[in-house]
Amino acid sequence: MKGFLKGSATAMITPFTEDGVNFDAFGKMIEYQIENGTDALVVLGTTGEPATMSDEEKEAVMRFAVKACAGRVKLIFGTGGNNTAKAVRMTRLAEEIGADGILAVTPYYNKCTQNGLIEYYKAICGATKLPVICYNVPSRTGVNILPETMEKIADIPNMAGIKEASGNMAQVLDTAMRIRYKCDLYSGEDALNLPILCVGGTAVISVVSNLVPAQVKLLTKCVANGDLTGANNVNDTLLPLIHACFSEVNPIPVKAGMNILGFDAGVPRAPLTPLEPEHCEQLRKAIQENYLEVNA
């Protein structure tokens, strides 16, 4: 299926306290995104740290997000994992709670075959009527959705597209060619947002847009309007911030950045650690260069 997601989507962080999820802070972050024109929120993706959350916490976050958004923006919930049966259960729960779409990361650690990937996505798509997005991030999962495999996955009726975070533009181009008339291509890597949009990507699922949602939305609008000069200008401004946001493993830097902006983002859950001081200064400088007020 085509046309589910266009423009900018933010891969939301999950703010924590020592006692659990900080829903007050999460609500403020949701409002910040909506006020700045973000088209969709991706909740419980990699940036949201679901790997260290209990099933009860995940369900509570989904229910809170649906209530807080109140239909004002699309909500996409991450439900994938390395246990297909559990991914199916979480997908059904997300639909029941009120998701608009599903993000399903490739199974990690198991290192399934390409045929295994096809069966995995068939199972998830078969469990819901919602649009489903594949999430290809081999640096984290150890498995890569090859272009010829995605071509087959794209035939599943409610397969909306692929969030590409392989970092391999040659592969992205091959995938784009194979799925162009079946489903959509989304950028899942901020440093490649501009080139992926320019080769037919319909949306970005961005980490840095936690911090600068209006700027990321502007980038997508410039490309959609054919204004590549404007898109390059926006991208040039964003690149130092993007580099700073990936100076350590995501979401360590972006959580620190949200704290710098005055949001109570807390720190990542173990085994992730707080941002190192030298990287924090790099991040603070990049935020200031993006003309944002630094509140902490």
In degrees, rounded to 5, the angle at the alpha carbon of residue 206 between the alpha carbons of residues 201 and 207 is 160
CATH number at residue 91: 3.20.20.70
Q: How many domains does the chain divide into?
A: 1
pLDDT grade for 290, boundaries at 50, 70 and 90: confident
Helix (H, G, I), strand (E, B) or coil at 116: helix
SS (H, E, C) 51-90: HHCCHHHHHHHHHHHHHHHCCCCEEEEECCCCCHHHHHHH
The string over 87-109, giving b where at least 16 C-beta atoms fall within 10 Å of a residue's C-beta and e elsewhere, is bbebbebbbebebbbbbbbbbbe
Q: What's the pLDDT at 289?
A: 84
Distance CA 111, CA 118 (A): 13
Distance, in Å, from the CA atom of 267 to the CA atom of 254, rounded to the nearest integer, reads: 10
Q: State yes or no: is 163 an active-site residue.
A: yes
Residue 293: predicted pLDDT: 55
Does 146 reside within a domain?
yes
Establish if 262 belongs to a structural domain: no
Asked if 79 and 91 count as a contact pair (C-beta separation under 8 A), the reply is yes
Q: Name the catalytic one among 163, 186, 217, 255.
A: 163
- Contact (CB, 8 A) for 204 and 5: no
Does 291 have pLDDT greater than 80? no
Does the residue 105 lie in any domain? yes
In a domain, 143, yes or no: yes
Q: How many CB atoms lie within 10 A of CB 207?
A: 28
Examine residue 106 and state whether it is found in any structural domain, yes or no.
yes
| Residue at 153: amino acid letter | I
Q: Which candidate, 44, 65, 68, places its Cα nearest to that of 54?
A: 44
Q: Which of 135, 152, 186, 255 is catalytic?
A: 135
What is the average pLDDT score of the chain?
96
What are the φ/ψ torsions at residue 162 (nearest 5 degrees)? Answer: -130, 130
What was the pLDDT predicted at 294?
46
pLDDT tens digits, one per residue of 207-260: 999 999 999 999 999 999 999 999 999 999 999 999 999 999 999 999 999 999
Domain range enclosing 47: 7-223
Q: Does residue 296 register a pLDDT over 60? A: no
pLDDT for 292 equals 57
Question: Does 216 map to a domain?
Answer: yes
What is the SS3 assignment for 101?
strand
Residue 19 has pLDDT above 60, yes or no: yes
How do residues 127-165 score in pLDDT, each as one tens digit?
Answer: 999 999 999 999 999 999 999 999 999 999 999 999 999
Residue 258 lies in a domain: no
Tell me the residue ranges of DSSP E strands in 165-275. 184-187, 203-206
What share of the chain in percent tops pLDDT 90? Answer: 97
> Is it the case that residue 121 has pLDDT exceeding 60?
yes
Question: Is 46 part of any domain?
Answer: yes
| pTM to 2 decimal places | 0.96
Q: What single letter denotes the amino acid at residue 62? A: M
Known active-site residue 129:
no
Closest to 91 (Cα-Cα) out of 63, 61, 123, 119: 123
